[in-house]
């Protein structure tokens, strides 16, 4: 009799724990803590005092809850980068797009709904440049009872690439805004928060990865740097890329690779060399013509176990020249999704919405040429020549509660002007963008092809474009101008990679396809925060579909609202917005 009571108790307890496991719950306390790097100490914003922030461990298909308490001195929002959040744009995070920031002292319970994502993603602050120190990894394991599409690695290690400013990051942004110029560059790159041996006062804390000969390690690599694409390599070892942006790839073996801000790579490292100390290293990849950028190199050490005399210093890997576009494009162009029975692809074949977006660097005049951009002008950036301006009420609320005058609905499908986008000498008048807060409305389930075209204004630049709410198939990429007759014939519709962030090559184009099956308000932007701040942003509103599952969820009760003037009751009365308001909300 006793035994069966214990059995029942055990069963109840296991249900309880199973439940806990199925719906993990985290507490994020935003707070300022002093950290010392490069011989000087400053207060930085952290989550729970940690830099980099805590790693979230979840399984495919989980829904998790994170309670964010803002005990810092700045407004902040948190974004779950690469999580599609079906029907739930409410807790996606970008400030003034889906919410107002969480004010100091306030709290926001964020729900994170995972579906098909499996591999590595991350989370980061999505207000100003606070993500410089507020970021962390999200590890998404296969569902219990299933496994990786490769032999189970012996160990898994998050490798977060980042950058560090000696100056306070809020000051960096303030100066940039005030001067109209590019602002200060970072002083160091970091691996798991540490600059490494090549920087002053850093050697004692260099990140060390202890390995054992014969074992295989899964490195979950995230580029969380604010501004820089990075070349990465490990001395003496090739690595094998098996996944990116929480989607598997056909294995790709390389001695080095390039990773853009926002991208995540799952990489296998076989410890198959003679026991020694080997550097892993990362440095900027940039086409910056003047060579003005952070040209330092961060390192960590791969340290074999056993008895041997290590080379001193450790062996250093080959990294390409900082502006080796060929090396970078060749790598990114080689991604292929698994596209097998267990990992089928569903790239849209019939397209009903064609979009063509030019990505440009721009300038606007300043009074008495007083800005520190080119010729005393102020830098901006644009998509289809519109430099995005943040609204005062977030777009999601304005849409949901039918608040007119917040955004316009005429984001154009094409640029206002077709010219030779990648020509050497573009006339100056092309540098002038229009300022605007415009969205593109997509019908539920529309099938979208979007071609990004980089322009050569200010010599152009690569742009790591990121879309919230979706993963997209990268069906084509090339240098020069997109040719809408020839280039589509070369699309990869068989095994294109599925991504959420992708490098549009400098003076080149890139084509993606996705199905707009996620109702809500979704941000799209360059993942260089400088370009994002300058306006290289766009917003999609995907309308509700017919069935209940095809509609946006209700807003959470503790939503940090921008819509304070209106009492909550009338908000509720209006809350059928997306279904009853026509999309009339034209900005005056
Ligand atoms: Cu990684 Cu809009 O963000
Ligand atoms: Cu950019």
Closest CA to 511 of 535, 539, 531, 483: 483
Model confidence at 1: pLDDT above 80? no
Tell me the average pLDDT of the chain.
92
Domains and CATH numbers, the chain: 1-148 (2.60.40.420), 151-337 (2.60.40.420), 353-558 (2.60.40.420)
Cβ count near 334 (within 10 Å):
14
Query: What confidence category does residue 588 fall into, taking pLDDT thresholds of 50, 70 and 90?
Result: very low
* 98 CA → ligand 1 middle, Å: 12
Angle at 444 between CA 442 and CA 445, to 5 degrees: 105
**Within 13 Å and on the Cβ side, how many CA atoms surround 103?**
5
State the ligand closest to the CA atom of 536: 2
What pLDDT, on a 0 to 100 scale, did the predictor assign at position 224? 98
Q: What residues contact 168, with CB distance under 8 A and at least 6 apart?
A: 42, 43
* 406 CA → ligand 2 middle, Å: 25
Asked whether 79 lines ligand 1 (CB < 6 A), one says: yes
Q: What is the DSSP string of 400-414?
A: HTT-TTS-BS---SS
Asked whether 81 lines ligand 1 (CB < 6 A), one says: yes
* 249 CA → ligand 2 middle, Å: 25
Angle at 222 between CA 508 and CA 316, to 5 degrees: 90
Q: For 99, which DSSP code?
A: B
What pLDDT, on a 0 to 100 scale, did the predictor assign at position 24? 84
Cβ count near 230 (within 10 Å):
26
Asked whether 59 lines ligand 1 (CB < 6 A), one says: no
Contacts for 251-254: CB closer than 8 Å, 24+ residues apart: 251/150, 252/334, 252/335, 252/336, 254/331
Q: Give the range among 3-7, 309-313, 429-433, 498-502 with minimum mean pLDDT.
A: 3-7
- Rounded-to-integer distance, Cα 41 and Cα 64, Å: 35
Closest CA to 521 of 11, 127, 99: 99
Q: Does residue 229 or residue 22 have the better pLDDT?
A: 229
Q: Alpha carbon of 97 to those of 20, 139, 397, 437, 447: distances in Å?
A: 32, 26, 9, 10, 23
| pLDDT (tens digit per residue) in 192-204 | 999 999 999 999 9
Average of per-residue pLDDT across 464-477: 98
**217 and 155 Cβ atoms separated by less than 8 Å:** yes
Q: Give the range among 57-71, 396-410, 497-511, 515-529 with minimum mean pLDDT.
A: 396-410
Q: Whose CA is nearest to atom 3 of ligand 1?
A: 81
| pLDDT (tens digit per residue) in 140-169 | 999 999 999 999 999 999 999 999 999 999
**Within 13 Å and on the Cβ side, how many CA atoms surround 21?**
11
**463 and 359 Cβ atoms separated by less than 8 Å:** yes
State the ligand closest to the CA atom of 530: 2
Asked whether 531 lines ligand 1 (CB < 6 A), one says: no
Model confidence at 292: pLDDT above 90? no
What pLDDT, on a 0 to 100 scale, did the predictor assign at position 566? 55
Model confidence at 43: pLDDT above 50? yes
**262 and 466 Cβ atoms separated by less than 8 Å:** yes
Closest ligand 1 atom to residue 122 Cα is 1
Angle at 328 between CA 52 and CA 289, to 5 degrees: 90
Strands 386-388 and 434-436, by their bridges, are: parallel
Average of per-residue pLDDT across 444-468: 96
Q: What residues contact 40, with CB distance under 8 A and at least 6 apart?
A: 166
What pLDDT, on a 0 to 100 scale, did the predictor assign at position 401? 85
**516 and 542 Cβ atoms separated by less than 8 Å:** yes
Asked whether 463 lines ligand 1 (CB < 6 A), one says: no
Asked whether 131 lines ligand 1 (CB < 6 A), one says: no
Closest ligand 1 atom to residue 261 Cα is 1
Model confidence at 20: pLDDT above 50? no
**505 and 537 Cβ atoms separated by less than 8 Å:** no
- Burial (CB < 10 A; 0-12, 13-18, 19+), residue 569, is exposed
Strands 434-436 and 520-526, by their bridges, are: unpaired
Asked whether 525 lines ligand 1 (CB < 6 A), one says: yes
Closest ligand 1 atom to residue 81 Cα is 1
Asked whether 571 lines ligand 1 (CB < 6 A), one says: no
Roughly how many angstroms between the first and final C-alpha of the chain, as a whole number?
76
What pLDDT, on a 0 to 100 scale, did the predictor assign at position 12? 46
Q: For 374, which DSSP code?
A: G
- Rounded-to-integer distance, Cα 355 and Cα 258, Å: 27
Closest CA to 235 of 300, 189, 188, 285: 300
Model confidence at 453: pLDDT above 90? yes
The residue behind tokens 């095994």 is: 495
Asked whether 122 lines ligand 1 (CB < 6 A), one says: no
* 504 CA → ligand 2 middle, Å: 9
| pLDDT (tens digit per residue) in 366-415 | 988 899 888 899 999 999 999 999 999 999 999 988 888 899 999 999 99
Model confidence at 225: pLDDT above 50? yes
Asked whether 124 lines ligand 1 (CB < 6 A), one says: yes
What pLDDT, on a 0 to 100 scale, did the predictor assign at position 402? 84
- Rounded-to-integer distance, Cα 518 and Cα 540, Å: 11
What pLDDT, on a 0 to 100 scale, did the predictor assign at position 483? 98
* 556 CA → ligand 1 middle, Å: 21
* 529 CA → ligand 1 middle, Å: 9
- Burial (CB < 10 A; 0-12, 13-18, 19+), residue 544, is middle
Query: What confidence category does residue 2 fall into, taking pLDDT thresholds of 50, 70 and 90?
Result: very low
Model confidence at 105: pLDDT above 50? yes
Look at residue 161 and give its three-state secondary structure. Answer: strand
Retrieve residue 422's tokens: 């990648």
What pLDDT, on a 0 to 100 scale, did the predictor assign at position 328? 86
**161 and 189 Cβ atoms separated by less than 8 Å:** yes
Cβ count near 35 (within 10 Å):
16
- CA 261 to chain centroid, in Å, comes to 6
**Within 13 Å and on the Cβ side, how many CA atoms surround 15?**
6
Bond before 52 cis per omega within 30 degrees: yes
Closest ligand 1 atom to residue 94 Cα is 2
Q: For 315, which DSSP code?
A: B
Average of per-residue pLDDT across 422-429: 92
* 124 CA → ligand 1 middle, Å: 8
Asked whether 468 lines ligand 1 (CB < 6 A), one says: yes
What pLDDT, on a 0 to 100 scale, did the predictor assign at position 14? 44
Average of per-residue pLDDT across 65-89: 98
What pLDDT, on a 0 to 100 scale, did the predictor assign at position 126? 98
């Amino acid at each position: 009799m006793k035994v069966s009571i214990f059995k029942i108790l055990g069963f109840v307890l296991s249900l309880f724990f199973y439940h806990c496991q199925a719906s993990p719950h985290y507490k994020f306390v935003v707070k300022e803590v002093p950290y010392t790097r490069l011989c000087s100490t400053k207060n930085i914003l952290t989550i729970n005092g940690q830099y980099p922030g805590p790693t979230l461990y979840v399984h495919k298909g989980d829904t998790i809850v994170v309670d964010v308490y803002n005990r810092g001195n700045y407004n902040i929002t948190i974004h779950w980068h690469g999580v599609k959040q079906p029907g739930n744009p409410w807790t996606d995070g970008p400030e003034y797009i889906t919410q107002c920031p969480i004010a100091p002292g306030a709290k926001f319970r964020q729900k994170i709904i995972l579906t098909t994502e499996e591999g590595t993603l991350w989370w980061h602050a999505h207000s100003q440049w606070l993500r410089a120190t507020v970021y962390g990894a999200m590890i998404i394991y296969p569902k219990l009872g299933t496994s990786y599409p490769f032999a189970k690695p012996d160990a898994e290690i998050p490798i977060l690439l980042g950058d560090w400013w000696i100056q306070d990051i809020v000051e960096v942004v303030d100066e940039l805004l005030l001067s109209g110029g590019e602002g200060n560059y970072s002083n160091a790159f970091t691996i798991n928060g540490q600059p490494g041996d090549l920087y002053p006062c850093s050697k004692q804390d260099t990140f060390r990865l202890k390995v054992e000969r014969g074992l295989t390690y899964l490195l979950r690599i995230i580029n969380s740097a604010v501004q820089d694409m990075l070349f990465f390599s490990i001395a003496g070892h090739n690595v094998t890329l098996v996944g990116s942006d929480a989607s598997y790839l056909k294995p790709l073996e390389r001695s080095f690779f390039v990773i853009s801000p926002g991208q995540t790579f799952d990489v296998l490292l076989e410890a198959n060399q003679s026991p020694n100390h080997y550097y892993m290293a990362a440095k900027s990849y940039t086409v910056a013509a003047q060579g003005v950028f952070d040209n330092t190199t961060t390192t960590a050490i791969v340290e074999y176990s056993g008895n041997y005399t290590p080379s001193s210093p450790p062996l250093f890997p080959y990294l390409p020249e900082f502006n080796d576009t060929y090396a970078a494009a060749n790598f990114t162009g080689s991604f292929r999704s698994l596209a097998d029975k267990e990992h089928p692809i569903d790239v849209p074949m019939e397209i009903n919405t064609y979009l063509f977006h030019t990505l440009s660097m721009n300038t606007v005049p300043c009074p008495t040429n007083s800005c520190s951009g080119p010729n005393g002008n102020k830098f901006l950036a644009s998509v289809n020549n519109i430099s995005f301006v943040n609204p005062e009420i977030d777009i999601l609320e304005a849409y949901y509660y039918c608040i007119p005058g917040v955004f316009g609905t005429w984001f154009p499908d094409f640029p206002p002007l077709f010219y030779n986008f990648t020509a050497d000498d573009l006339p100056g008048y092309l540098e002038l963008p229009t300022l605007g807060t415009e969205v593109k409305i997509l019908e539920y389930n529309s099938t979208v092809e979007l071609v990004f075209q980089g322009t050569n204004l200010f010599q152009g630049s690569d742009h790591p474009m990121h879309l919230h709410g979706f993963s997209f198939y990268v069906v084509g990429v090339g240098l020069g101008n997109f040719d809408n007759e020839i280039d589509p014939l070369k699309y990869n519709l068989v095994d294109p990679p599925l991504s959420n962030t992708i490098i549009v090559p400098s003076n080149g184009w890139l084509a993606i396809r996705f199905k707009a099956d996620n109702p809500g308000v979704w941000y799209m932007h360059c993942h260089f925060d400088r370009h994002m701040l300058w306006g290289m942003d766009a917003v999609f509103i995907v309308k509700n579909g017919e069935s209940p599952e095809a509609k946006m969820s209700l807003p959470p009760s503790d939503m940090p609202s921008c819509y304070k003037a209106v009492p909550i009751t009338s908000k509720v009365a209006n809350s059928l917005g997306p279904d009853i308001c026509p999309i009339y909300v034209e900005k005056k």
